[in-house]
Amino acid sequence: MDLEAYHEPVMAVAAGRVEKVGFDERSGVYVVLDHGQGITTSYAHLQYALVKIDQLINEGQPIKFQEIQARVESHTYIFPCA
């Protein structure tokens, strides 16, 4: 799923535990949530994370913040993985 959000917090789609918070050239700032039973979601292309590794997250809790950077379109990819 590819979602656009400008100056908006990105909310967790389901409760879980923060498995990873990081940065890479392709994804920018990213967060991976582990929802149990082998299901994870990955949130990428954001300005900064509001969560830390091993933090427990509730459904709908803000996990990242997205801002528009100069001449760069900001958006979020959410990848459910089983």
Token code pair at residue 45 = 């292309």
The residue among 77 and 18 whose pLDDT is bigger is: 18
Domain spans, the chain:
2-81
Predicted pLDDT of residue 50:
86
Compute the chain's Rg from CA coordinates. Answer: 12
Q: How far apart are CA 65 and CA 39, in angstroms?
A: 23
59 exposed, middle or buried (CB, 10 Å; 0-12, 13-18, 19+)?
exposed
Rounded to two decimals, the pTM is 0.76
**Mean pLDDT across 28-43:** 87
Class of the CATH-defined domain 2-81: mainly beta
The string of pLDDT tens digits covering residues 41-75 is 888 777 778 899 999 999 999 887 665 443 344 44
